[in-house]
Structure 1
Amino acid sequence: MKFYIFLTIYFFTYLNIFAQKDTVQLEVVTVSATLLRNEIKNTARNISIIDRKTLESAPVKTLDGILQYALNVDVRSRSAFGVQADISIRGGHYDQTLILLDGVKVNDPQTGHHALNLPVPFSMIEKIEVLQGGASRVFGPSAFSGVINIITKKPAKSEGEIQLGAGQFHTWQSALYGTWVKDKWNVGAGLDLVKSEGFQAATDYKKHSLNVNAERSWTKGTIQLLYGQMSNDFGASNFYHPKFFNQYEEVSSHLANLAWKQRYSDKWQSTFLANYRLHYDMFDFDNYRNTDKINLLNVHRSDVWDIEWKFNYKNHTAFGLEWRKEGILSNRIGDPLDQPRKEAKDWSDLTYTHQKSRDNLSLFFERKFVWQNFNLNVGTLGSYNSKFGFSLFPGLDLGYALDNTSRIYYTVNRSLRFPTFTELYLKNNTVTGDPNLLPEKAWTQELGFKKQSHGSLSQVSLFYTHTEDAIDKVKRPGITVPLMENMDYLNRWGIELAQKWNFSKNPIRLKQFSLNYAWIHADKKEEGYQSFYTLNYLKHKATLGTLFEPLPSWNLSLWYTFKDRAGQYSWDDASAPIDYASFGLLDFRTSYKIQKFEIRLDLNNLLNKEYFEYGFVKQPPRTITGTIVYGF
């Protein structure tokens, strides 16, 4: 540990020697994960950006892989290559983070385990915005602890790209991306396929994603049509229970979206979104599909309809409304059906015997005020849910510009999250839901500082979150199956530090350097029970990323991530709880460009650490993959 501390101090000292004269100015970054658009340096929130340069140079090929490096984002992967991963922010859990795809809410009402079942190839992503803290006043009930907004590429010319890759454990990957631009039309399409036999028994997978979008523009607006589809079949060895190694799952989703953006005048503009998401899930706990116990499979179908219309006046006033309908058909979740329905996908011998649905209507308003060096955003969102009634989410963001490059800010926001259908109704040998669960509610306060100048972006924030009726999955002594419960008051506070430099010339050919650190503390401990959600979080997370360019066409990228997790896990009732062990991971990529070709070599978990994100789910060892990219 002393060596790493020394290395960090050395790096900071060395970098600061030439940072002022050899940095390059960071591009102006506009944040879209807000109602009123603003440059990131002027926002009174902690928002971090993963740009295209980082996406293309980091030693990752999936969304969960790149989010491993993001500030105070906890990615708990259960397998490799984005097969399944749970995303949480600021010590929350995977049901508390809202995922947006080009502004479209893609969270699944069944469970947050499906949040990253996104119908978009990784090669189509332009950038990712990560907003820390509750944002219900802008995005509604799902934005409880943070928001991740995935923004796809907007083609400027006709071009294409082909990727072919292979690696250990008989892993094969291919991807195709292309754009067509003519007159006022632009069309983009992407497809990727990946399969592997897995690093151990029942960790094999086969997945694909497809995305097509077409946009037509005119003088005062655009219309965009999007369709995406993904499927993923994978071995889920002891994913949800430590002693069942034949677990297996199949998921697929479809997303269709219409986006209409209209500028009525220099002062008025609006954005209209209408989308539909369909998701299928089949879970096999113990190889039942290959026996006469096929009726023990879990089959679910969720349908989500969403219509949203937002108006913006002179970029200082925003208002709008949203209607969202969430429904599920299942053989396990919801209320019994009068007449069973045939399962509509691949397991035609099964029937849906339960269903549930709920509607949500939201009205929102936001106003920005500017007085000399001060800026103030105030707003609220009112939401009526057919099951949980009316809720109000007020909040404000206050910023003060110290000079042209520095700003301090304070923000306070109310957030709320409705229980998922799984938390309410699922009853099996891994969890017992509670249909009387209350929505969890929180107030979050944040005090921060940010500075952007000379190719450098610095951010510091202190936050405090007070949660009421926190929803937790709890294992108590003498009870075999964990229960879903509302917990008493939970207070959580922490600190976040982020630093990023872009460089032009320096002796070690360093092009980019970033460092993130987050510390979190909760005022409750696991005493007499095991918490799966609220008390199972990253106490410490540190990430260091570097990008070198030894030669004009040769890049070296090195990322180190350290995680120290609170909470415990146990194998069964007879076993004593075990504390999570801290660990550090080192990932490396080298790439070389030759005309239209690029050759990449990735080494993930370079030090071959044995580690666990979930207590009993072993993660892959050192993994080597190679990729050839051809652009045309």
Structure 2
Amino acid sequence: MENNDCKFKINFRRLFVIICLVFISIFSNNKSFGQTHDSIKTYRLQEVEVYDKMPLKTHNTEQISLQYYISTDILNRKKEESVSNLLKQVQGIDIRQRGQFSTQTDISFRGGNFDQTAVYLNGINFTDPQTGHYSLNIPVSSNIISGIEVFKNTSQCLFGSPSFSGIINILTEPDSVSNLSLSTTIGMYGLLKSGIELNLLSKNTSHLLYFDYERSDGYVENTDFKNFNAFYYGNYLTKIGKFESQLAFLSRDYGANGFYSLRFPNQHDSIQTVIASVKYINKAKVKIIPSLYYRYQQDCYQLIKGQAREKNNFHQSQMAGINLLSYFYSIVGKTAFTADYKIENIYSTGLGLLLNEPVSIKREDNIFYKYAYTRQYYGLGLNQSYTNKWVDVNLAFNLMNNTDNKNIFYYLPSLNFAYKIPCNLGEKYKLEQNIYVLAGKNMRMPTFTDLFYHTGDILGNDKLKPEEALTFELGYNYNVINNKSKKNIFDGQICVFQRYGKNMIDYIKAENDSLWRCVNHTKVNTTGIEVSTGFYPQEIFNPSFFITNINVSYAYIIADKPADNFLSRYVLDYLQHKVSFNLTHKVISNLLVNYSVIFKSREGKYLNKDRNYENYPNYTLLDLGIQYKYRNWDFHLNINNVFNVPYFDIGGLTQPGFWIMGGVKYKINLKK
């Protein structure tokens, strides 16, 4: 690894200015673009409808790797929920919260760790290069989310960038009419959240603008937080095609009681993030879709809140990239080409290689970034999709390279195959069934924290190799559909997958050692089974039937590695059993009640405050949500952890007990 200089920061600033100029040009036009209802394509996948918002997902074969879609219907039953709370019921996803309301959340998928799940916003990869702890720092809430897609790790045919465990793609879309919404929520522990949402549409443009602020005194000492989100998303239709742009800012300031070590209850973290992107979609038959994206983040971590400023950890990370997707249709199906370039950089008081000359930290007197690191990624992809009455097939091939391993090219193929078994059940209903096989090879580069972190009892390792994995999956899914409404009556799936991991990155320690050391495991193999089913009575009885939905899912995972008598901090600390149950019913017209039950059983051990090792206890939680709609008013009441069950997802870090909150949202349509 070679030393780093400061030229990279200047290039990033130029790129950010270019993006801002694009946004200004979009705002300068008064015309509006609105998507017509006829242009929306609907796919059937398990219990929900999948809407084709992005042009790259216009082929049925590419739906094979889509595991779940959180639809607008589900979001309407989850008022004022954070992204982490929306995802925690999803089969295969492990949400581990340190701070509530997505203040600090680790997200894992199918037995992977929090660094192995990629997070996208409207199809743009904004995964944090510094640490997966910050990847879910996305400045949106359920108020403006139009859907959340959960993709398996054979989905490189969609985005051009492989993901080690899976992809979470959060979608937003302006409303179909211009309107203004105001919302507020209050609750226990001094919780207050207020938001404002503005949707503006005319002929050729549509804009979504959103702000919110939330704060709490915390459920125990030093778990208080203050969060602020600002988000813009816009569409602009021209004679030559469509432009999509987004610009967002996020601020998190929170007490971090025991977040990273139970020995330090007075930790504190402060984070500011900026993300931006612009995408162009042409009108020609041969689609060309370039995207330009940027992410900036700075944070200040205090091991002891209020300590001398020079003792704090300061970081400034930046990421920028260009992605190109091109595709066309022919007699052999859909042929697509992808190209991806990304550059990542960090300036830090502790992460990276020693700088020749320290760089001063803005607004800090006599404190300097002494370390920095820069790396670049290159990727090319080619995939072919074919579909007919009986089969859906997608074959993708990606080639990846990076400046950390200049002489090594990673060949990452994937195959998605589904055999369709249609079956008519009379005039009213039909049964759609698929038997599918998935296979794919993936890799992940270590984060900057993995490489360089040397603080307290954790030691990084700048000699780490990239993780690699080969995944296979066999499954069956079905949908019983109402022919009139085109909606599901029943749906479900069962699948088994096997992941063979090589050079898996983990922090390990011997029982008599005081340090967690970052290493590559020789190999770690993971086996999983997933079963789910859903029932939607209103589609078989009538729309006024009191039960809206019943969903049940179960996921089982087991991982193994060669015995070495070391304790694992992440790789073998995974959710082994997860059972989810969800039911929504009407009480009276426009009054809905939602019950969410989740059971978790976790493998692995944690180090308690007395420095002894304990197994993770099992727990079951019940959350209750009540929603009432009256004209332009939406009222909601949420009760989390109804039975006040003591639990934690990260060793010894106690999560809130009974927590009640409620609020109101008012929407007014604006005159044209």
TM-score (ref. length: structure 2): 0.86
CA shift for structure 1 position 26: 7.4
Contact 2:102 2:137 in 1 (8 A): no
CA shift for structure 1 position 136: 4.8
CA distance in 2, matches of 1:562, 1:26: 20
Cα gap change, 1:551/1:512 in structure 2, threshold over 3 Å: closer, same or farther? same
Which range is displaced more, 54-63 or 99-108?
Answer: 54-63
- Does residue 386 (structure 1) correspond to residue 386 (structure 2)? The answer is no
Deviations 1:514-533 (A, max 9, x none): 11210001123886322111
* Pick aligned residue for 1:313 from 320, 324, 328: 328
Cα gap change, 1:254/1:328 in structure 2, threshold over 3 Å: closer, same or farther? same
Cα gap change, 1:516/1:34 in structure 2, threshold over 3 Å: closer, same or farther? farther
Match of 1:298? 313
Contact 1:136 1:416 in 2 (8 A): no
Match of 2:418? 399
Cα gap change, 1:348/1:64 in structure 2, threshold over 3 Å: closer, same or farther? farther
Match of 1:486? 520
CA shift for structure 1 position 241: 0.6
Match of 2:653? 617
* Pick aligned residue for 1:436 from 460, 463, 467: 463
Contact 1:135 1:144 in 2 (8 A): no
AA matched with 2:456 = N
2:515 is paired with a residue whose SS is coil
AA matched with 1:181 = L
Match of 2:492? 458
Which range is displaced more, 412-421 or 151-160?
Answer: 151-160
- Does residue 604 (structure 1) correspond to residue 624 (structure 2)? The answer is no
How is 1:33-432 mapped onto 2 (pairs within 5 angstroms)? 36-39=57-60, 43-45=63-65, 47-58=67-78, 61-136=81-156, 139=159, 143-218=163-238, 221-265=241-285, 268-287=286-305, 290-291=306-307, 293-314=308-329, 316-344=334-362, 346-370=363-387, 372-389=389-406, 390-403=409-422, 405-432=432-459
CA shift for structure 1 position 620: 0.6
CA distance in 1, matches of 2:55, 2:91: 19
CA shift for structure 1 position 401: 0.6
Match of 2:572? 535
CA distance in 2, matches of 1:526, 1:515: 36
Q: How many residues align?
A: 600
Match of 2:501? 467
Match of 2:593? 556
CA distance in 1, matches of 2:197, 2:220: 32
CA distance in 1, matches of 2:47, 2:611: 53
2:264 is paired with a residue whose SS is coil
2:76 is paired with a residue whose SS is helix
1:316 is paired with a residue whose SS is strand
Match of 1:446? 473
AA matched with 1:202 = N
Contact 2:549 2:585 in 1 (8 A): yes
2:572 is paired with a residue whose SS is coil
AA matched with 2:311 = L
Match of 1:629? 665
1:617 is paired with a residue whose SS is coil
CA distance in 1, matches of 2:52, 2:615: 39
2:84 is paired with a residue whose SS is helix
User: Which portions of structure 1, spanning 4 or more consecutive aligned residues, are displaced by more than 6 angstroms?
Assistant: none
CA shift for structure 1 position 370: 3.3
* Pick aligned residue for 1:523 from 560, 569, 592: 560
* Pick aligned residue for 2:534 from 500, 508, 518: 500
AA matched with 2:637 = L
Cα gap change, 1:142/1:206 in structure 2, threshold over 3 Å: closer, same or farther? farther
2:512 is paired with a residue whose SS is coil
Contact 2:154 2:438 in 1 (8 A): no
Structure 1 residue runs without a partner (length 5+):
1-24
CA distance in 2, matches of 1:355, 1:139: 29
CA shift for structure 1 position 400: 0.5
Structure 2 residue runs without a partner (length 5+):
1-45, 424-431, 482-487
Deviations 1:237-258 (A, max 9, x none): 0101111110000011001111
Cα gap change, 1:565/1:48 in structure 2, threshold over 3 Å: closer, same or farther? same
CA distance in 1, matches of 2:240, 2:537: 38
Which range is displaced more, 521-530 or 335-344?
Answer: 521-530
CA shift for structure 1 position 220: 5.6
Cα gap change, 1:184/1:34 in structure 2, threshold over 3 Å: closer, same or farther? closer
CA shift for structure 1 position 339: 1.2
1:200 is paired with a residue whose SS is coil
CA distance in 2, matches of 1:245, 1:369: 56
Cα gap change, 1:210/1:178 in structure 2, threshold over 3 Å: closer, same or farther? same
CA shift for structure 1 position 139: 4.3
AA matched with 1:516 = S
* Pick aligned residue for 1:29 from 37, 50, 57: 50
CA distance in 2, matches of 1:142, 1:199: 39
CA shift for structure 1 position 33: 8.5
1:78 is paired with a residue whose SS is strand
Which range is displaced more, 90-99 or 575-584?
Answer: 575-584
Deviations 1:132-180 (A, max 9, x none): 3354565466610011110002332101221111000111001111101
- Does residue 510 (structure 1) correspond to residue 530 (structure 2)? The answer is no
1:226 is paired with a residue whose SS is strand
Which range is displaced more, 406-415 or 425-434?
Answer: 425-434
AA matched with 2:513 = I
CA shift for structure 1 position 508: 6.8
AA matched with 1:469 = N
Contact 1:239 1:247 in 2 (8 A): yes
Identity over aligned pairs, percent: 26
Contact 2:154 2:415 in 1 (8 A): no
CA distance in 2, matches of 1:222, 1:148: 24
Contact 1:126 1:153 in 2 (8 A): yes
2:458 is paired with a residue whose SS is coil
Q: CA RMSD in A?
A: 2.1
Contact 1:36 1:312 in 2 (8 A): no
AA matched with 1:513 = I
AA matched with 2:282 = Q
Cα gap change, 1:96/1:599 in structure 2, threshold over 3 Å: closer, same or farther? same
TM-score (ref. length: structure 1): 0.91
CA distance in 1, matches of 2:54, 2:132: 20
CA shift for structure 1 position 32: 6.7
CA distance in 2, matches of 1:34, 1:181: 21
CA distance in 2, matches of 1:546, 1:228: 34
CA distance in 2, matches of 1:511, 1:111: 40
Contact 1:222 1:260 in 2 (8 A): yes
2:455 is paired with a residue whose SS is coil
AA matched with 1:89 = F
Match of 1:7? none
